[in-house]
Structure 1
Amino acid sequence: MSKIPTQGEYLDWYGFKFRWASYHRTPDQLNHYLYSYDTLSTDALEALDKLSPPAPTAPRKDIQTAYEPKEKSLTRDLFKLLEKNKNDDQAIRALWTEVNTVPEWVNWDEIERGQKVFWRYAGPAITALTHLSLLGGMSSGRTTVETLDRTGGFGARAVKRRLMETVQHTFGVHKDIQSIQPGGEGWEASVRVRLLHSSVRRRIIQLAQEKPEYYSIKDHGVPVNDLDCIGTINTFSSTVIWLGYPRQGIYLSKREILDYLALWRYVAYLMGTPHDWMATPEMAKAMMESLLVSEYRPTKKSATLANNIITGFEGEPPIYASRGYINALTWWLNGPQLARALEIEKPSLYHYALVASQCWHFMLISYITSSIPYLDHRNIEFMKRSYYDAFVFNKKKGALGYKAMFLFKWIPDHVNTTTPLGVTDEERRKMSGAFGRGTIEKTALFQLLLSTLMLFSLAYYVWTVLQRTQGE
């Protein structure tokens, strides 16, 4: 942006339209976050290294796959080390104390309601997180993409497993109130991801010190900096609330917004991310819009990673989505301007129609079930069981089938300095879509045909009534 936005100014940034207000922050005001980071977990990691030194790493032969040590003992479980040595070092004790201390502003009733918001609108939520928050989030070309590009976790063949692990973290956060409280599944996953972020940060800094041309802290900021982390929390919360849901016809109530933000503010706290901007809906929405202006600047690397995500999910269980359908969802949720900037192929009218049908289905189910307490409860429990089965437990349906430990597997090195563009798997392409094994597309097509039939039937009925009226 060539000039600093002024209060009251109407902005249109890649199709995202909003008015600049006092809560917004200019790129210059956000810039300091590029060079600040979670020092508490970094210090704890250094202390853990002294107690249990990491094994030496070798360059990956293929950046498209994860680096997997042959012996499990070579991959340290930092969370277990943290828990085991929580009283043996001041830095370790400080981190352990923080994540086990519940802030005064936490209201468990509010957070539990926030968890239910996710399952109440689970379909639109997963769709938004995948195609808007994740795919669209690759537009953050200045910082986030520069780090992800060097890890290899977004290679076309590795990306699905990488993202299925993220799904487990997301589900754990929303599972139930015990899961997010200290000692719970979602709580542990959040702490594990925090330690993983520190490992990635330190590794890239180490490589940059050895070869300055590998990564420029001056240009891109500290790897996995506070701005990156704020952006990540934003994509899981504010972006879903004010962009993801509305673009699928879902509008949360004020109570639902407050509850959902409260949940993700606590997650931000657990992950060592600045979170004061989430104190009110107005501040959270303003931060989302500020990040759009400051960080949404797609690069060639942005396009590569975004297309790798599409390639990695095309024809994969449990969705078996076709590339055209994924493209259509991406265009629908991010808008044409951003989709073009990410070099996402323009979808056909057929796939657009399927997406419209899916949104209509989401709206119908969501508003009916949420308006009746009994149905709301049953729907939440059904969604929770179904999604856990498809994305976590059942390997036959495409789930990982194991608990993600968020270990440091995608290890950056000097050999693989960037992630290449992936190649489409023709066998998976054949299985995708409404005429393959694409369950969602089959459902969307059926709904589209049914709606069209009903519309024509209604039109015909009206026409016959008018004809009879004129005849009389």
Structure 2
Amino acid sequence: MATKRPYLKRLNTSFRNPLLELAWTAADNAVSGFAAPTNRELENLRRKSDPLADDCIRALHLKPGTDSLKALDDYVSQPVEEQASAAPRKFMEQVTTTPLWVDPELMKQGQKLFWKYVVLIYIILTDYGLPMGFTAGRATDILSCTNYFSSVKGAFQRLFETGKFVTDIMNGPEALTPLTASGWKSAIRVRLLHTQVRLRILAEAEKRPDLYSVEELGVPINQEDMLGTLCDFSIGVVSLLKKMQVNLSPSEITAYLHFWRFIGYLLGIDDEYCRKLITEAGAGAVAGAILNHLVDPSASSVVTAHNLLEALAFTPPLFWPTGAHLAVTRSLLGDRVSDSIQLPPSKWYWRLFTTCSIAVTRWILCSTIFLEQRINLAMKYGPPGMDYYVRRIWAKDALHKPATCDFVFKFLPHLASQESDDT
């Protein structure tokens, strides 16, 4: 049964959030022929996982620390008669088949838009996208089971993994070539990592059903959670760029949304809903419906949001202190949402600093002087730069071994009682 969140419309009138405004308009008018998903549909999506990937992981019997993609490749390389299950081969066939609707030119233009506004998009994703996602209490409760964002160090690791994933898939027109390209490999590893976490939490929940309720929270890393995250990276970025007074052409928006639709396909999100993201209005309707259904901050929301802001402090590429990130987050989320996750008020000097910094950055990025050359330089040196930060700047663990970003299942999801969580 869908959980009612009647305060969301009041929330929408308390501050100007372009994503919510666009969402309500699109949902009310059913623009472009795509009506917003109903709460009943979204509840069904919370009960739905990624069956193809689930069956694949069950057949592979992976242990923590194993390279899932290499194990998959080794399995399907065996003679068919020696394969105990056909699931890994079916999974490989799906992820190596490019759908007919994919337009290479739109994919290329979508990547160019990312690198054109890469600094502003970084600010949007870290200071708006992630904190806004944390207001979804049921999704954040699941996230807390994975040890990610349960500590500042865990949040730091998740930030770099997300950055590495995004720069890999944006690494030029050939980045998503099946089997060989780094972007394609990262996308499949992330999908298999999600599946391993999902199955481990479900296995633990069977032992202790009193600590995790699928009926209440849904399947871990379910279709709705993944679709909501995809909206943050796609229509969320478009909406916030507009709020920052960046003029995007209709063709740029179409290309960017098209690119993320294909990423959703690789990550195992049902294309019945991904295809609704191909227009700005349709994507806004989907994003607004998910926000309406999920926004309900929990205790985990507060912890994860604070750990995120601390993890962002003095990290590349901006090297801003926590106060600066807090000022941007409160500006983009609005006071009502920020208060709901107990973010402290931002100081006036940090608000002035971030406003001026974003204004100057926007002026530079929107300048047409050497525009194409700047985009090409960003595409050429952006991914290697992220690799450098991962290898050299990333914090070391307790054994003083450099941390890596290979999307390997390392953290064992844990289920603990509320008392131990509070402690």
Structure 1 partner of 2:68: 78
- Does 1:202 pair with 2:203? no
Provide the C-alpha distance between the structure 1 equivalents of 2:291 and 2:419, rounded to a whole number of angstroms. Answer: 25
1:44 to 33, 56, 59: 56
- Counterpart AA for 1:29: E
CA shift, 1:279, in A, is: 3.2
CA shift, 1:402, in A, is: 7.9
- Is the contact made by 2:168 and 2:383 (CA closer than 8 Å) also made in structure 1? no
Equivalent positions of 1:234-383 (< 5 A) are 234-242=231-239, 244-274=240-270, 275-369=274-368, 375-383=370-378
- Is the contact made by 2:212 and 2:415 (CA closer than 8 Å) also made in structure 1? no
Per-residue Cα deviation, 1:147-194 (whole angstroms, up to 9, x for no partner): 111111112122112210110100011111111121311111110010
RMSD over aligned Cα atoms:
2.7
Q: 1:392 to 1:415 in 2, by over 3 A?
A: same
Structure 2 partner of 1:117: 113
CA shift, 1:212, in A, is: 0.6
- Does 1:21 pair with 2:16? no
- Counterpart AA for 1:175: N
CA shift, 1:102, in A, is: 0.4
Q: 1:103 to 1:419 in 2, by over 3 A?
A: farther
Higher relative contact order (CA 8 A, sep 6+): 2
State the secondary structure of the residue aligned to 1:404. Answer: coil
**Whose radius of gyration is greater, 1 or 2?**
1
- Does 1:97 pair with 2:93? yes
Q: Matched residues, percent identical?
A: 25
CA shift, 1:2, in A, is: 6.3
Per-residue Cα deviation, 1:413-435 (whole angstroms, up to 9, x for no partner): 2458899699xxxxxxxxxxxxx
Provide the C-alpha distance between the structure 2 equivalents of 1:2 and 1:79, rounded to a whole number of angstroms. Answer: 40
State the secondary structure of the residue aligned to 2:367. Answer: helix
- Is the contact made by 2:391 and 2:403 (CA closer than 8 Å) also made in structure 1? no
2:178 to 182, 190, 198: 182
- Is the contact made by 1:13 and 1:293 (CA closer than 8 Å) also made in structure 2? no
Q: 1:397 to 1:83 in 2, by over 3 A?
A: closer
Per-residue Cα deviation, 1:87-135 (whole angstroms, up to 9, x for no partner): 5341000000000000010011110110000000011100001011112
Structure 2 partner of 1:404: 405
CA shift, 1:332, in A, is: 1.4
CA shift, 1:321, in A, is: 2.0
Provide the C-alpha distance between the structure 1 equivalents of 2:358 and 2:49, rounded to a whole number of angstroms. Answer: 38
Structure 2 partner of 1:444: none
Q: 1:389 to 1:90 in 2, by over 3 A?
A: closer
Per-residue Cα deviation, 1:420-468 (whole angstroms, up to 9, x for no partner): 699xxxxxxxxxxxxxxxxxxxxxxxxxxxxxxxxxxxxxxxxxxxxxx
State the secondary structure of the residue aligned to 1:287. Answer: helix
State the secondary structure of the residue aligned to 1:104. Answer: coil
Provide the C-alpha distance between the structure 2 equivalents of 1:297 and 1:121, rounded to a whole number of angstroms. Answer: 31
Provide the C-alpha distance between the structure 1 equivalents of 2:421 and 2:372, rounded to a whole number of angstroms. Answer: 45
Give unmatched runs, 5+ long, in structure 1. Answer: 55-73, 423-472
Structure 1 partner of 2:102: 106
Structure 2 partner of 1:146: 141
- Is the contact made by 2:175 and 2:183 (CA closer than 8 Å) also made in structure 1? yes
TM-score by length of 2: 0.86
Provide the C-alpha distance between the structure 2 equivalents of 1:395 and 1:405, rounded to a whole number of angstroms. Answer: 10
State the secondary structure of the residue aligned to 1:193. Answer: helix
Q: Which runs of 4+ in 1 moved over 6 A?
A: 2-6, 400-403, 416-422
State the secondary structure of the residue aligned to 1:202. Answer: helix
- Is the contact made by 1:15 and 1:338 (CA closer than 8 Å) also made in structure 2? no
Provide the C-alpha distance between the structure 2 equivalents of 1:43 and 1:196, rounded to a whole number of angstroms. Answer: 13
- Counterpart AA for 1:130: T
Q: 1:416 to 1:173 in 2, by over 3 A?
A: farther
- Is the contact made by 2:211 and 2:415 (CA closer than 8 Å) also made in structure 1? yes
- Does 1:32 pair with 2:44? yes
Higher mean alpha-carbon deviation, 280-289 vs 183-192, is at: 280-289
- Is the contact made by 1:33 and 1:225 (CA closer than 8 Å) also made in structure 2? yes
State the secondary structure of the residue aligned to 2:137. Answer: coil
Higher mean alpha-carbon deviation, 287-296 vs 233-242, is at: 287-296
Q: 1:199 to 1:417 in 2, by over 3 A?
A: farther
- Does 1:192 pair with 2:189? yes
- Is the contact made by 2:47 and 2:219 (CA closer than 8 Å) also made in structure 1? yes
Give unmatched runs, 5+ long, in structure 2. Answer: 396-401
State the secondary structure of the residue aligned to 1:213. Answer: coil
CA shift, 1:360, in A, is: 1.0
- Does 1:135 pair with 2:131? yes
- Counterpart AA for 1:76: T
- Counterpart AA for 1:299: S
Per-residue Cα deviation, 1:181-237 (whole angstroms, up to 9, x for no partner): 213111111100100011011011011100012211000100011001101111111
- Is the contact made by 1:304 and 1:421 (CA closer than 8 Å) also made in structure 2? no
Provide the C-alpha distance between the structure 2 equivalents of 1:45 and 1:355, rounded to a whole number of angstroms. Answer: 45
Per-residue Cα deviation, 1:385-412 (whole angstroms, up to 9, x for no partner): 5543543214687358886220111211
Provide the C-alpha distance between the structure 2 equivalents of 1:405 and 1:192, rounded to a whole number of angstroms. Answer: 8
Q: 1:44 to 1:418 in 2, by over 3 A?
A: farther
Provide the C-alpha distance between the structure 2 equivalents of 1:324 and 1:112, rounded to a whole number of angstroms. Answer: 36
CA shift, 1:336, in A, is: 1.4
